[in-house]
Structure 1
Amino acid sequence: MKTNLDEMLAFVTVVDSGSISAAAEQLQQTASGVSRALSRLEEKLAVTLLRRTTRRLELTEEGEVFLAQARRILDSVEEAEEQMALRRQVPAGRLRVNTASPFMLHVIVPLIGEFRARYPQIDLELNSDDRFIDLLERRTDLAIRIGVLPDSSLHARPLCASRRRVLASPAYLRHHGMPATVEALTEHSLIGFTEPESLNEWPLRHAQGERWKITPTLRASSGDTHRALALAGQGIVCLSDFMCGADLAKGDLVEVLAEQRTELLQPINAVYYRNSALASRITCFLDFLSEQMGNKSADTVH
């Protein structure tokens, strides 16, 4: 075989990370070393895989074809290594987990210490995105998604559910007053999401139904930004218990219109793309999350 695995890994990592410098940091190598690996690979294959400009790297047609093959080869090698670990009955290898930033910070991160103590041979890679990602393209083993899942070929494992509440800080309510009705919200500063628009439908019962579509006076893309703005007294928000349960317990946030709240539970699922038997490192992480969250009520997932 002309090419070697290190050269393939350098190529795939450059494509996935978007630059040679980012790939070098991820691979813990020098940028010049990664660049030389790419040059050797192209020389051995006698093709150009990447077009290099001052601003970006772009795959050639040959690069697209080789990328798909290289991914399959690297995945096969990783699976073979996993099988050897299974023979020792010790889950091992890299586990790539992706979820929204608030869920990562408020739920996953506090559990990582115990997971690593149980499975020291698993190398965790934690990534956050506020949008759904393509697991295969991003080489992600497992994603945790909040809300109703779109139709998909991905396998899903339910973990728990979390309630959404309308919240404000005591300082905001002292200054602006507690709204007495759902309709009175129109007189307040309402913090909404830039997308998806469905998150701007709050679970509040009113004369026309059980969801109130707000017109935000301030928008933000991240739930953590909403939380920070609410804590700073900038307006009223609607967020999940997993993010704000501790704030409610301490009194830093107060529920607004609690008697009008409808029970809108957001399902939380782990999704993965492998059709064959799950790798042991994925299985043990799924089992661990189910153990930690699956038996909790929506009130306690925070």
Structure 2
Amino acid sequence: MEINSDDLRLFVAVVDSGTLGAAATQLGQTTSAVSRALARLEEKLATSLLARTTRRMELTEEGRVLLQKARTILESMDEAEEAIRIRRQQPSGRLRIDAASPFILHAIVPHVAEFRALYPQITLELTSNDQVADLLEHRTDIAIRIGPLQDSTLHARALRSSPLHLLASPDYLKKQGTPGTPEELASHQLLGFLQFESGNMWPLRHEGGEALAVSPSLFASSGETLRALALEGQGIACLADFMTKDDIAAGRLVKILESHSTGYRQPIHAVYYRNTQLSRRISCFLEFLQQKLM
């Protein structure tokens, strides 16, 4: 016989409650019914999940494996149900979104009109923050984080990843020449990030490895400022594709040292606190944005 979601929910309830009686109260069943259901689950799996004594219950090794899998499965089922409900209901209310200014300008703003047409009852608040924002302090519902995530108690959803390109304007390259190797960058004007050291580690294969630490001659705290400086012919920058692809397509910026690129792609995540009141707004926005970023 196969196990089902009811089996998993009962098993998780027993473990979380600590006793059969407490689980029975939570599930609205009798203690004997819960005990029989647990015995049937163990019979289906042909293994013991809980070691019972007169005072307490302890998970067996098989029980620990099932508990981990059960939590993942039940959370996925809950998210699937929520997604279906979202499609049947019109979410409403205020949704506060924080992201670095380049992401706001190039990945969100172009799609705001369509999102508002689809969800007219949601009021968007967009804030730009080029440093990592504290969601509670800034009263933010969703924050877009670019790059590897730090350990966090927040929920995270991967949206996409974006390649990094070394870029310069045609005017700069005409005047200063095009570097042929990573080592030649040392004789060029480099544009780098202020207070963001990892942004000045460029994904280039060279004699010392696959990440080149550069020494910029001009710094900025925002990727959008670095983009503007590169467009003005002030030097070479390492910037994400999502904010420069239109410039590249139009010839305003030119890729350099492509043969030395490691192919590294910056991960982009949305992070948020799970909140029942906000969940429908968060889910519909993230689904919409993920489709646009594909």
Give the TM-score normalised by structure 2. Answer: 0.69
Partners of 1:137 and 1:249 in 2: CA distance: 39
> Could you say which residue in structure 1 is the equivalent of 2:204?
204
Alpha-carbon distance, 1:89 to partner: 2.1
> Could you say which residue in structure 1 is the equivalent of 2:283?
283
Partners of 1:122 and 1:275 in 2: CA distance: 16
2:183 maps to amino acid? E
Identity of aligned residues (%): 57
Please give the per-residue CA displacement for 1:138-173, whole angstroms capped at 9, x wherever unaligned: 211111110001000000000000000111011000
Partners of 1:287 and 1:198 in 2: CA distance: 29
Please give the per-residue CA displacement for 1:176-200, whole angstroms capped at 9, x wherever unaligned: 1011111010000001111210100
Partners of 2:97 and 2:279 in 1: CA distance: 14
Q: Secondary structure at the match of 1:180?
A: coil
Gaps of 5+ in 2: 1-84
Partners of 2:242 and 2:153 in 1: CA distance: 27
Q: Look at both structures and tell me which one has the larger radius of gyration over its CA atoms.
A: 2
Q: How does 1:121-160 map to 2 (within 5 A)?
A: 121-160=121-160
Q: How does 1:214-229 map to 2 (within 5 A)?
A: 214-229=214-229
> Could you say which residue in structure 2 is the equivalent of 1:98?
98
> Could you say which residue in structure 2 is the equivalent of 1:232?
232
Partners of 1:275 and 1:112 in 2: CA distance: 23
> Could you say which residue in structure 1 is the equivalent of 2:59?
none
1:104 maps to amino acid? I
Q: Secondary structure at the match of 2:134?
A: coil
> Could you say which residue in structure 2 is the equivalent of 1:261?
261
Gaps of 5+ in 1: 1-84, 297-302
Alpha-carbon distance, 1:279 to partner: 2.1
Whether contact under 8 Å (1:136, 1:273) holds in the other structure is no
Please give the per-residue CA displacement for 1:116-146, whole angstroms capped at 9, x wherever unaligned: 0000000111111001111112211111110
Partners of 1:163 and 1:275 in 2: CA distance: 32
Q: Secondary structure at the match of 1:279?
A: helix
Partners of 1:174 and 1:150 in 2: CA distance: 41
Partners of 1:292 and 1:184 in 2: CA distance: 38
Instruction: Provide the alpha-carbon RMSD of the alignment.
Output: 1.6
Whether contact under 8 Å (1:160, 1:267) holds in the other structure is yes
Partners of 2:118 and 2:275 in 1: CA distance: 26
> Could you say which residue in structure 2 is the equivalent of 1:172?
172
Alpha-carbon distance, 1:205 to partner: 0.6
Closer, same or farther in 2 for the Cα pair 1:277/1:121, shift >3 Å?
A: closer
Please give the per-residue CA displacement for 1:193-237, whole angstroms capped at 9, x wherever unaligned: 112101000011111101111011111111111111111111000
Partners of 1:248 and 1:121 in 2: CA distance: 37
Whether contact under 8 Å (1:101, 1:130) holds in the other structure is yes
Please give the per-residue CA displacement for 1:7-46, whole angstroms capped at 9, x wherever unaligned: xxxxxxxxxxxxxxxxxxxxxxxxxxxxxxxxxxxxxxxx
Alpha-carbon distance, 1:278 to partner: 5.2
> Could you say which residue in structure 2 is the equivalent of 1:184?
184
> Could you say which residue in structure 1 is the equivalent of 2:270?
270
Whether contact under 8 Å (1:203, 1:262) holds in the other structure is yes
> Could you say which residue in structure 1 is the equivalent of 2:112?
112
1:188 maps to amino acid? H
2:269 maps to amino acid? N
Alpha-carbon distance, 1:292 to partner: 1.7
Partners of 2:198 and 2:230 in 1: CA distance: 20
Partners of 2:229 and 2:138 in 1: CA distance: 32
Alpha-carbon distance, 1:263 to partner: 1.0
Give the TM-score normalised by structure 1. Answer: 0.67
1:233 maps to amino acid? G
Partners of 1:234 and 1:134 in 2: CA distance: 33
Alpha-carbon distance, 1:273 to partner: 1.2
Q: Secondary structure at the match of 1:95?
A: strand
> Could you say which residue in structure 1 is the equivalent of 2:243?
243
Aligned residues: 209
Partners of 1:113 and 1:273 in 2: CA distance: 26
